[in-house]
Structure 1
Amino acid sequence: MEIHVQSVGIDGAHGPLLHPTSLRVRTGELALVAGEPGTGHTAFALALGGRMKPSVGQVLVDGKPDDAALRRLVAIVDAPDVSSPEEALTLGAVIGEELAFASQPANRKAVADWLLAHDAREHANVRFESVPAEVRTRLLVEVATQRPGTEALVLVLPDRHGAGPHTWWTTATKAAENGLAVVVLCSLTSARLLDVTAARIGDREQPETLAFMQVQEEGQ
C-alpha cells in the first residue's frame, strides 16, 4: 500500500491551517514529519487519514483519491483534541474504550489480560495523565494496530508528553517493522535530537522515508 499526499493545503476561517505539504509513505516505511508548533500537525494528520478535506491538493491511496479507504486503513493516534484519550480516565478505562473501538473483547478481564500481555498491568488504575509518557504512547500505538483493516498509523506529537524522542521513535520503528506504513508528526527539536532526516510541514519536496521492511528483507 502507498499513501501519497500531493501538495495538500487546508484553509481555516482565520488563515491557513496547513501550508501545502507533500509526503509519500508505503507499507513497512516510517516517515518523520517535523514542524514548528501551530503549523498544522493535526490538520495534516486528518487530511492524510481522509478525515479532513484539503483546500488544495489531494491524498491518494495506491494511486487513487479515496477518502473512505483512507479512513478504513489509517489509524490516527493521540491527536490533540481529536483522538487523544480523556486524561482523567484510568489507563484501564482508556484501553477498554480502544479495544471496543477495535472490535475486541473489552470487559474487565479482557482489559486486565491485555495490559498484562503488554507489560502495563501495574498502571491499570492510574489516571491516564499520570501514566509515564513512553508507556502511554507505546500502548496507544499497540492497541491501534488491532483495529480491523489498519495498514497505516499516524502518531501525532508524542513529544508533547515530555519523554525523550528515542522512546517513541523505537515504538514507531517496531510498527513499521511489523508491516505498517507509519508517519510520526513531531517538533523540529525532536527531529534534531533523533538525528533523522525529517520531512517538513509546509514543504512540497520531501526526503525518502525509511524502509524497514525492505532493509529487513535484504538482510535475509
Structure 2
Amino acid sequence: MEIVATGVEVAGARGQLLAPTSLRARSGRLLLVAGDPNSGRTALALALSGRLRPTRGEVRLDGTADPSALRRAVAVVDAPQITEPEGALPVRDVVAEGLSLAGRRSGRRAVRAWLQARELPATERFENLAGLARTRLLVDLAVESRAVRALVLDCPDRHGGDPAGWYELAARQAARGLAVVALCSPHSADRLGVFPARIGADNPEPSTSDTAEGLR
C-alpha cells in the first residue's frame, strides 16, 4: 500500500493551517514527520487519513484519490481533541469503545481479557496513564480493526518521556507490514537521531534506513 500526499495545503478561517507538504508513506515503512507546534501536524494527520479535505493538493491511496478508502484504511492515533480519548474516562471504557469501533467483541469479559493480557488497570483514569502506556494502548486498539493498513501517530511526544519508546512501538507496526507515519517535534527527531520528513516541504523518497528492516 502507498499513500502519496502532493502539495497538500489546508487553509482555515484565520489563515493557513498547513503549508504545502508532499510525502510518501508505504507498507512496511515508518516515516517520521517533524513540525513545530502550530505547523499543522494534526491537519496533516487528518488529510492523510481522508478525514480533512485539503484546500489545495491531494492525497492518493494506491494511485487513487478516494477519501472514503483512506478513512477505512488509515487510523489516526491520539489526535488532540479528535481521536484523543476523554481523559476522565476509566481505561476499561476507552478499551470498550475502541474494540467496538474496530468491530471486535467489547463486552465486559472481552475488555477484561484484553486489559489483563496487557497488564493495564481497568479502573484507572485514562489521563493518569504514562505517555508510553497511553500510546501503546491506542496503537493496539487501532490495529484491532482488520481494515486498518496504515497508522498515523499524532505527536506522541507531547506526553513527554523518551521518544525512543513510541518510536519503537511505531517501528514494530511497520515491521508487521503496516504503513506508519509518526508526527513529532524537530527536537524529538533530533533526540532519535532520525532525519525526518518536514511539514511544509516537498520531501524526497525515504532512504532505506527508514524501512522496517533498517530500524533498531
TM-score range, shorter chain: over 0.9
Return the offset for 1:118: 2.1
Once the two structures are overlaid, the 10-residue window that deviates more, 157-166 or 36-45, is 157-166
Match of 1:40 in 2: 40
Match of 1:75 in 2: 75
> Any idea what the Cα deviations from partners look like across 1:121-161, whole Å, max 9, x if unmatched?
xx211100101111110110011001131000000010111
AA matched with 1:42? T
Provide the aligned C-alpha RMSD in A: 1.3
AA matched with 1:143? L
Q: For the residues of structure 2 that align with 1:108 and 1:125, how far apart are their CA atoms?
A: 13
Q: For the residues of structure 1 that align with 2:159 and 2:211, how far apart are their CA atoms?
A: 27
Find the residue that maps to 2:92 and give its secondary structure. helix
Find the residue that maps to 1:150 and give its secondary structure. coil
Return the offset for 1:207: 4.8
Superposition misfits of 4+ residues, deviation over 2 angstroms? none
Match of 2:190 in 1: 192
Return the offset for 1:111: 0.7
2:140 aligned with 1:142, yes or no?
yes
Return the offset for 1:175: 0.6
1:166-177 equivalence runs, <5 A: 166-177=164-175
Equivalent pair of 2:30/2:181 in contact (CA under 8 Å)? yes
TM value normalised by structure 2: 0.95
Find the residue that maps to 2:30 and give its secondary structure. strand
AA matched with 1:155? L
Match of 1:113 in 2: 113
Find the residue that maps to 1:64 and give its secondary structure. coil
Find the residue that maps to 2:124 and give its secondary structure. coil
Q: For the residues of structure 1 that align with 2:170 and 2:21, how far apart are their CA atoms?
A: 21
Match of 1:12 in 2: 12
Q: For the residues of structure 1 that align with 2:42 and 2:162, how far apart are their CA atoms?
A: 21
> Any idea what the Cα deviations from partners look like across 1:7-26, whole Å, max 9, x if unmatched?
10001111000000011011
Equivalent pair of 2:24/2:205 in contact (CA under 8 Å)? no
> Any idea what the Cα deviations from partners look like across 1:147-200, whole Å, max 9, x if unmatched?
131000000010111121011001000010111000000011111100001001
Equivalent pair of 1:197/1:207 in contact (CA under 8 Å)? no
Task: State the number of aligned residues.
Answer: 213
Q: How much identity, in percent, do the aligned residues show?
A: 47
Match of 2:22 in 1: 22
AA matched with 2:166? W
Q: For the residues of structure 2 that align with 1:35 and 1:154, how far apart are their CA atoms?
A: 14
Match of 2:149 in 1: 151
Q: For the residues of structure 2 that align with 1:134 and 1:196, how far apart are their CA atoms?
A: 19
Equivalent pair of 1:199/1:207 in contact (CA under 8 Å)? no
